[in-house]
């Protein structure tokens, strides 16, 4: 199996200096690429000078996560792409369990390893943790991470299970599947494009897997912190994009209406917290969504929609009303 580890970079010389060595050290047999999103720092020169075996692909513009990867991956030949954030430290032997899982489960198209917090290495990290799911209303959450609550890693998720979505911080995907799905949706720019990609893959009959035997550490927040208003804007808008594209029409319309009400509640909550920028970010997210609704609706998959996409009815209700912060305590449907 030919694996291409592909790191998307934008002005990340400091991150490459810190995290690229572990990728090179522990990824024997894989080809390593850095796709540069028109950086203005010395990233490209740094790689050429210090790591000549790493292949660099230079994009002509910073098109964000989605377009950056779509443009860069076009010239890379491999059986499997590993899309890896530039702020991820990998561990010895991390690729072997991934290869075994692909070989043992031919129906699997996408795999995610265990994602731990680099700063608190005994805790799961926000972006992906131990595999992603969504609730009936389309809100994403993870095993090991519910909203801002992060679980301690005590071996409770050392398994291999099917999940709904894999994080873009470290995602392995078969090349043929990536391009059959036309790659990431560039309308997302960044955030939750991996949820949409996995949803489209599942609508096509593919499976997404979490492999706990493979482990990486993620710094997180190097592009946008969890509480950046721009991230709030992208997450709220892009979640509506995914609902519109990936559910049967009637179900999608009902959920969009419900989300309008719930997102209004979230905006009011930000007002009471005096986080006005986040309130306005939700408003802008909805305005952007309505402007692009027709375009998103035309992208709906022709494949049969999966009948059961959600794990629970409402993560918001269980977390904020019943104060459940541990994945294993959630009431599953």
310-324 confidence digits (pLDDT tens): 999 999 999 999 999
What is the reported pLDDT for 230? 94
Residue 143: exposure state from Cβ atoms within 10 A (0-12, 13-18, ≥19): buried
Which long-range contacts (C-beta less than 8 Å, at least 24 apart) are formed by 73-79? 73/6, 73/35, 73/175, 73/178, 73/183, 76/4, 76/6, 76/31, 76/33, 77/2, 77/4, 77/175, 78/2, 78/3, 78/4, 78/31, 78/175, 79/1, 79/2, 79/3, 79/174, 79/175
157: pLDDT strictly greater than 60: yes
Q: Pick one of 3.90.1150.10, 3.40.50.920, 3.40.1160.10, 3.90.550.10 as the CATH number of 3-218.
A: 3.90.550.10
Q: Average the pLDDT over 242-270 and give the result.
A: 95
| CA distances from residue 315 to 6, 67, 165, 196, 250 in whole angstroms, order as listed | 33, 30, 16, 19, 22
What is the reported pLDDT for 190? 87
Q: Average the pLDDT over 14-28 and give the result.
A: 97
| Tens-place pLDDT, residues 119-155 | 999 999 999 999 999 999 999 999 999 999 999 999 9
This prediction has a pTM of 0.95
Our measurement of the distance from residue 86's CA atom to the centroid of its chain's CA atoms, rounded to an integer in Å, reads 14
Spell out the domain ranges in the chain.
3-218, 229-329
């Amino acid at each position: 199996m030919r694996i291409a580890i592909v790191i998307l970079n934008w002005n990340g010389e400091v991150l490459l200096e810190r995290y690229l060595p572990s990728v090179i050290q522990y990824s024997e047999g894989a080809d390593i690429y850095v796709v540069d999103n028109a950086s203005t720092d010395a990233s490209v020169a740094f790689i050429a000078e210090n790591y000549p075996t790493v292949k660099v692909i230079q994009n002509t513009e910073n098109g964000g996560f989605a377009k950056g990867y779509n443009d860069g991956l076009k010239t890379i030949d491999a059986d499997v792409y590993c899309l890896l954030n530039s702020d991820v430290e990998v561990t010895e032997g991390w690729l072997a369990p991934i290869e075994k899982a692909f070989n043992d489960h031919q129906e699997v198209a996408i795999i995610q390893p265990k994602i731990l917090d680099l700063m608190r290495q005994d805790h799961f990290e926000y972006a992906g943790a131990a595999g992603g799911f969504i609730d009936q209303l389309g809100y994403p959450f993870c095993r090991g991470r519910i909203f801002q609550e992060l679980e301690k890693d005590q071996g409770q998720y050392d398994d291999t299970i099917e999940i709904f979505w894999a994080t873009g911080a470290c995602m392995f995907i078969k090349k043929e599947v990536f391009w059959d799905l036309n790659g990431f949706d560039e309308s997302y720019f960044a955030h939750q494009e991996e949820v949409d990609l996995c949803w489209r893959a599942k609508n096509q009959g593919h499976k997404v897997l979490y492999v706990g035997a493979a482990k990486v550490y993620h710094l997180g927040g190097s592009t946008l912190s969890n509480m950046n208003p721009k991230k709030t804007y992208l997450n709220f808008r892009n979640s509506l994009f995914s609902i519109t594209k990936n559910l049967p029409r009637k179900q999608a319309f009902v959920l969009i209406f419900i989300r309008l009400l719930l997102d209004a509640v979230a905006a009011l909550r930000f007002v009471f917290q005096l986080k006005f920028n986040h309130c306005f970010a939700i408003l802008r997210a909805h305005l952007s969504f309505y402007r692009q609704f027709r375009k998103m609706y035309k992208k709906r998959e022709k494949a049969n929609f999966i009948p059961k996409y959600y794990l629970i009815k409402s993560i918001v209700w269980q977390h904020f009303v019943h104060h459940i912060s541990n994945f294993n305590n959630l009431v599953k449907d």
